[in-house]
Structure 1
Amino acid sequence: MWLGIVIGNVWCTKKVSALTGQTFLLVAPEGHQGPALVCADQAGAGPGDRVLVTRGSGARVAAGESIPVDAAVVGIVDRVEQ
Structure 2
Amino acid sequence: MLLAKVMGSVWAIQKEKGMENIKLLIVQPINLLREPIGTHLVAMDRIGAGVGEFVLITQGSPAQKLASEKNSPIDAAIVGIIDSFEAEEVSK
TM-score, normalised to structure 1, is 0.90
1-side partners of 2:21 and 2:77: how far apart? 14
Tell me which moved more, 61-70 or 18-27.
61-70
Corresponding residue number in structure 2 for 1:61: 65
2-side partners of 1:45 and 1:73: how far apart? 8
Deviations, residues 26-74 of structure 1 (Å, cap 9, x unaligned): 0001124211000000221010010000001110122235222010001
User: Runs ≥4 in structure 1, deviation > 6 angstroms?
Assistant: none
Residue aligned with 1:39, SS: strand
Residue aligned with 1:8, SS: strand
Q: CA deviation at 1:79?
A: 1.1
Tell me which moved more, 3-12 or 65-74.
65-74
Which protein is bigger by CA-based radius of gyration?
A: 2
TM-score, normalised to structure 2, is 0.81
How many percent identity over aligned positions? 43
Count matched residues: 82
Q: What runs of 5+ residues in structure 1 fail to find an aligned partner?
A: none
CA RMSD of aligned residues (A): 1.3
2-side partners of 1:64 and 1:18: how far apart? 6
Q: What runs of 5+ residues in structure 2 fail to find an aligned partner?
A: 88-92
